[in-house]
Amino acid sequence: MGWLFSYPPYCPYRFCPSLLHSSFMNTRIREATLADLPCFIRHRRAMFEEMGYRDPAVLDAVDKTSTQYFEQAFRDSTYKAWLVEESNGEILAGGGIVLARWPGFPGESLAQRAWILNMYTEPHARRRGLAKQILHVILDWCRVHGFSIVSLHASAAGRPLYESSGFQPTNEMRLRLR
């Protein structure tokens, strides 16, 4: 049986399928499209539920505003995303990146910031390295497109993955206004 796992052309792993664990057989990473929006909204909601948010009204509101945001962001290319898909079409994992206009800052030569978000793996597909593969595709895309820095907000469950990939805590702070 051949490898069905495929990488975007900018991903260095595409040249060495032996780097992949056998659990990746019959899967591929593909770039997401606007047609995949329901999957991202479902993943986003599940992610928040797993982080302890349980109020259905709050989650419904997040679904609504997220749908509005991502519909526009996919259209104007300020959101890029990738999915791990099995050969039967089942989506096992996904992740994306928001590209926001931003004034220059030390260490970054672009007038843009890159934030990784919506990293999610279906519970039955976890511990197979799928999130790490998506993360590396995103990081490779950022490097190829000239980004020097990429940021994210990590859940407690995701923190070990990001730390193992070299992410470090920053000086970001937050104030809740309501």
In a domain? residue 149: yes
pLDDT at residue 28 in the model: 94
In a domain? residue 80: yes
pLDDT at residue 25 in the model: 62
HSE, CB side, 13 Å, CA atoms: give it for residue 20.
Answer: 24
In a domain? residue 22: yes
Token pair recorded at residue 150: 């990429």
Domain enclosing residue 40, as ranges: 12-164
Token pair recorded at residue 103: 């004034």
pLDDT digits (tens, 9 = 90+) for 79-109: 999 999 999 999 999 999 999 998 988 888 8
pLDDT at residue 175 in the model: 82
Q: Is 78 left (phi over 0), alpha (psi -120 to 50) or beta?
A: alpha
Per the structure, the count of domains in the chain is 1
Average pLDDT over residues 159-163: 92
- Mean pLDDT, the chain, as a whole number? 86
Q: What is the CATH number of the domain that holds 130?
A: 3.40.630.30
In a domain? residue 3: no
**DSSP-assigned states of every residue in 128-150:** SSHHHHHHHHHHHHHHHTT-S--
Helix 56-75 vs helix 37-50: angle between axes, to the nearest 10 degrees? 140
Average pLDDT over residues 153-168: 91
Distance CA 139, CA 142 (A): 5
In a domain? residue 171: no
The H-assigned helical ranges of 33-123 are 37-50, 56-75
In a domain? residue 1: no
In a domain? residue 93: yes
In a domain? residue 67: yes
pLDDT digits (tens, 9 = 90+) for 35-87: 999 999 999 999 999 999 999 999 999 999 999 999 999 999 999 999 999 99
pLDDT digits (tens, 9 = 90+) for 3-25: 222 334 444 444 333 333 334 56
Q: From start to end of 87-174, where are the E strands?
A: 91-101, 112-121, 151-152
